[in-house]
Every structure is written in structure tokens, then in C-alpha cells.
Amino acid sequence: MAVVWKEIAYKDDLDSHASQHGVSGSDSVFPADPDGDRVLMWDDVPGELVWSSAGTGDVIAAANITDHSIVRGDGGAKGIQDSTAIITDSGQMYNPSQPAFSAYISSAALNVTGDNSQFSLHGEVSWTEVFDQGGDGDFSSGTFTAPIAGKYQLSGILYISGITAGHTIGVVWIVTSNRNYITVYNRPEYVCGPNGYLSMAFSVLADMDASDTAYLRLEVDGIGKTVDINVDSFFTGVLIC
């Protein structure tokens, strides 16, 4: 079994350590590392420490590891490398590269449905990002594009108004490349607040492949195209696993 001493196992360091214990640090005891990138191993024959090339399974530390970062394999000569995942001294763990987004509608979309029509909340709707973490442009103009395959928690609230007694069904669609997720509100005029306002909340754990997209769609059925989508509407998402 290899004893891996990447940073302190060079000859001069070993000689210095040996001298502290009254042991000679001659080359016969601590032979010089031939190329500066080998590991120190015990050789039963002739019974001494020798420098040897790293074998399969030997892990050699990178030259510098960022404070608090979680190390990961790199499949190369060093064996491990930095990552962007962080564990603080207090035990909190976070990763600023984890894909996540939050955005809200910054300008109301007026009279977009209410007559059984479907209105997609991308392109024509104005969105403002609160954050778009883990990649530039994962969220753009109402559409989220998954940077990697995984399970994404997609959630939000559509704050709509203009609901009347003649509107019978309200539907929020989360439209993804793999499938659609539908939240239905029957008889929305019974649950809306004064002046025909209604908050429609939704959430789903969606499977997405790399480059798959997700956006929102609203449908309100009834007698007139009077339903607005207001500025307090949000769309959020985060990679869970």
C-alpha cells in the first residue's frame, strides 16, 4: 500500500524531519525523488522507503486546494482537484455554480386570455431576473434552458386579474421538452379576491435533459378575453439532483 506524501515527501523535507529525531538524512535512507512527482513507498526488498511512480488508485493532492472547497477526482496525474462546492467552518454547504434561477414579470400582460385561448409567457412578456446562477443565459425571455441533465424543481406564482363570473376554469402549464405539467383551478371566480384577482401557485420536480427548455403557459376559459398577468408573477427553478 502506497504512503502518499505529496507536499512534504521531497528529500530535503524528509532529511530535515529525520535530523530532528537524530537520524541521518543520507541518500541511502531518503533517496532523492528522480522527477519531483513521485510517491514514497515502502519496499519490502530491500526493506526501505523508495520513490515510485503513482500506481492505479494512488491519490496525489493538487498543488493548491482552495480553502473550504470540496475536492473531486480529475482523472489525471494529480488524482484530485478543486471544486466550486464549499463547506464553511460552521458546516454550511453551498455551491455557487449550482444551476438556479428566479425571475418576475416586470410589465403586466393585458387581456391575454379568458376566452379559452392559451397564452405562452415567453417572448412577448417582459421578465426581469432576480438571479441566474450557474451559467450565463440559462434563463432568457421567460424560457429556462437546462445546462445539464437532472431533476429540476420548477415553481412559481402567476398573479392574474380580470376574472369574472363567466370564467369557468384557470390552467397553468409548465411546458418542458419532455412533458407538460398542468395545475387546474375550477371555477376561479369562486376563489379569487376582490376585483377578480387570483394567485395561481404551482410546483413540480421535472426531469430535464441537457438543453431541454421550460416555460409557462396560461389558459382561462370563459366568455371574454379580459384576464391580465400582473407584475407580481414569478418563475423559479433549481437543479436538485
Q: How many CA atoms lie within 13 Å of 80's alpha carbon, on the beta-carbon side?
A: 17
d(CA 19, CA 165): 92
pLDDT number for residue 186: 87
What would the mean pLDDT of 154-174 be, rounded to a whole number?
93
Omega cis (within 30) before 96: no
The answer to whether residue 151 scores a pLDDT higher than 60 is: yes
Assess contact for 101 and 237: CB atoms under 8 A: yes
Q: pLDDT digit string (tens) for 177-192? A: 999 999 998 877 666 6
* 184, β-bridge pairs: 171
Q: pLDDT digit string (tens) for 53-88? A: 655 555 555 557 778 877 777 776 667 777 888 888
Q: DSSP state, 60? A: B
Q: pLDDT digit string (tens) for 128-148? A: 999 999 877 899 999 999 999
Q: pLDDT digit string (tens) for 95-138? A: 888 999 999 999 999 999 999 999 999 988 999 999 999 877 89
Q: How many CA atoms lie within 13 Å of 116's alpha carbon, on the beta-carbon side?
A: 2
Chain-centroid distance, C-alpha 116: 37
Q: What's the pLDDT band for 196 if we cut at 50, 70, 90? A: confident
d(CA 32, CA 43): 15
> How many angstroms separate the Cα of 154 from the Cα of each of 35, 58, 92, 108?
52, 41, 24, 22
- State the pTM of this model: 0.72
Which domains are present in the chain?
100-239 (2.60.120.40)
